[in-house]
Amino acid sequence: MTRRSNLVSALFTLLCSAAQGADMPTFTEQIAPLVYEKCAGCHRDGQGAPFTLLTYAQVKKRALQIADITDERVMPPWHAEHGVVDYANDRSLNDEQIALIRRWVDAGTPEGDPARLPPAPKFPEGWQLGKPDLIAEVPEGYSVPAEGPDTYRNFVVPLGLTEETWVNAIEFRPGAPSVVHHVLYFIDTSGKAREADAADPAPGYNGMGRSNGNFRYLGGWDLGTQAAALGYGLAWLLPKGADLVLQVHYHPNGKLAQTDRAVVGFHFADKPTARPWTIVPVPPFFGILSGINIPPGEKEYIKESSMVLPVDIEAIGVNAHAHYLGKRMEMTATLPNGEKQWLLKMVNWNFAWQEDYAFKQPVKLPAGTRLDALISWDNSDSNPYQFAHPPRAVRWGPTSADEMGTLTLTVMLNTAEEKKTLHTELKRTLTGQLIQRVFEKDIDGLGTVRSQIGGEVSVPDPEQLARFHALTLGLDINKDGKLDHAELQPGINFVIPMMRGFGEIGID
């Protein structure tokens, strides 16, 4: 090699390493801002994540695991499929950010110039949405044993409101997060909740039927719920003198007894709701009448439900719900012009993350749009969330060991009248499912409903069921052994005036 080419090659090497240096990410310049924005919200003291990710030392210590887990899109937790629907609250990383972490780890996790480290992020202490206007605290702590069956406990908190009040954000804070699985809020103006509470010497009272049927549903909180205002000028109405009924689903943590005393913060809106709004669960009531009956070992058990919207709506968010065995969750809208649109696609349901997925813009769905929901469950041994070894048959039920499944849209409407029409359609859907169960002589399915709701929904005894069954046979006009949408309608018209015990399905 000549002197000259030696020089050229030395120069070239120098240039290359300079270019590499410029490209080599450092903690202080590239990684810290990313970790502050995307990880530290949970990975800090007092939050759900198991360790803190803030300083160079903390991130360096787990660098390889972080590169792997972000690559696999396990972290940050976000379970909707990428590139299907854009959500406003998507907390996942994009491809460049994932590649950046990998490059940093491959480069040996360089720290970079400490002077360039951006200031550590500030997070609100305590209430995530700021100090609420009204704080409702469960009056007494409730003991949850270390082990035992799940329980549903209702707590009554008088709100002391002297006038009608509109609220645009509700923030829930569990006292003992490790045992609180989910919470539903109800509003009672009848005094029945207080009566039930007084009749039970321990704090609150048991069961789910009494609240769900009688009180006005206000919304809820799940593990993984991010506190957020409703948006779009929407608000809930709290009537004067109303009591808050908090129905808490407890799941003992298997390790330590806990005492839970939940607090709920309400943020007042300065105006009534800008538009009527409600929820559209497909299927209704968490699939109570879907006939869920999952054989042991079944890798993918599928239930599909549909509903045709009777009025124009604008959907602002979607939520999925199932228990441990849930696998695939899908919701699409097929518009009257035949165009199909995804609302949610999830192939790896994770019980621990029951998010509300907020659409970037409201999704307009005109009357006549068909909503299709598909939910599947994996009841095999190879499901990492399987807790029964060997697996056993699983039916619908309220405890974490049972299953449920529903996909719920939060929607805005144009008029109060149209909201009523929508609620009636939901009730008709549920009634149609009830008729299906009778038609299929699904005694177990109906019996599950009775025992789980606490006997408050009247389910026929076997003799009555046989009579009802005979009636439903007449609905099957084409005698194909199935009841299709059209065949169901006369049955629904007949039964719906008798439907009691389910109360209102949507949010008022």
Query: Which of 54, 63, 69, 335 contacts ligand HEC by CB under 6 A?
Result: 69
Query: Which of 352, 393, 466, 477 contacts ligand HEC by CB under 6 A?
Result: 352
Order of all β-strands in the sheet with 180-188: 205-206, 151-158, 243-250, 180-188, 216-222
Alpha helices in 93-144 (DSSP H): 95-106
Query: Which of 25, 28, 60, 76 contacts ligand HEC by CB under 6 A?
Result: 76
Q: Which is nearer to ligand HEC, 39 or 184 (CB)?
A: 39
449's tokens: 């409903």
Regarding 38 and contact with ligand HEC (CB under 6 A), the answer is: yes
Alpha carbon distances (Å) from 403 to 208, 351, 503: 16, 11, 22
The distance from CA 265 to its chain's CA centroid, rounded to whole angstroms, is: 20
Q: Which is nearer to ligand HEC, 43 or 427 (CB)?
A: 43
Query: Which of 26, 28, 70, 354 contacts ligand HEC by CB under 6 A?
Result: 70
Query: Which of 33, 36, 41, 128 contacts ligand HEC by CB under 6 A?
Result: 41
Cα angle, residue 401 at apex, residues 353 and 396 outer, rounded to 5° = 95
Regarding 32 and contact with ligand HEC (CB under 6 A), the answer is: no
CB 330 within 8 A of CB 346: yes
Task: Dihedral sign for Cα 491, 497, 498, 502, please.
Answer: positive
Q: Which of residues 313-332 bind ligand HEC (CB under 6 A)?
A: none
Q: Treating both helix axes as pointing N-terminal to C-terminal, what angle do 95-106 and 63-71 enclose, rounded to 10 degrees? A: 150
Query: Which of 25, 27, 43, 412 contacts ligand HEC by CB under 6 A?
Result: 43
Q: Which residue in the block uniquely carries the two structure tokens 């009730």?
A: 427
Query: Which of 30, 33, 44, 77 contacts ligand HEC by CB under 6 A?
Result: 77
The distance from CA 2 to its chain's CA centroid, rounded to whole angstroms, is: 70
Q: Which is nearer to ligand HEC, 42 or 229 (CB)?
A: 42
Shortest reach from residue 246's CB to ligand HEC, in Å: 23
The distance from CA 93 to its chain's CA centroid, rounded to whole angstroms, is: 21
What would the x/- binding string for ligand HEC be over residues 46 to 65, using CB under 6 A?
Answer: --xxx--x--------x--x
Shortest reach from residue 391's CB to ligand HEC, in Å: 23
Q: Which is nearer to ligand HEC, 112 or 284 (CB)?
A: 112
Q: Treating both helix axes as pointing N-terminal to C-terminal, what angle do 416-439 and 485-495 enclose, rounded to 10 degrees? A: 100
Q: What is the DSSP letter of 201?
A: S
Shortest reach from residue 182's CB to ligand HEC, in Å: 16
What is the total count of residues that contact ligand HEC (CB under 6 A)?
20
170 burial type by CB count under 10 A (0-12 exposed, 13-18 middle, 19+ buried): buried
Q: What is the DSSP letter of 264?
A: E
Query: Which of 44, 91, 370, 395 contacts ligand HEC by CB under 6 A?
Result: 91
Shortest reach from residue 42's CB to ligand HEC, in Å: 3
Query: Which of 29, 30, 42, 150 contacts ligand HEC by CB under 6 A?
Result: 42
Regarding 33 and contact with ligand HEC (CB under 6 A), the answer is: no
DSSP 369-438: PEEEEEEEE--STT-TT--SSS---EEB-SSTTSB-EEEEEEEE-S-HHHHHHHHHHHHHHHHHHHHHHH
Alpha carbon distances (Å) from 503 to 423, 456, 457: 11, 12, 11
Shortest reach from residue 69's CB to ligand HEC, in Å: 5
- Site residues (CB under 6 A) for ligand HEC? 38-39, 41-43, 48-50, 53, 62, 65-66, 69-70, 75-77, 91, 93, 352
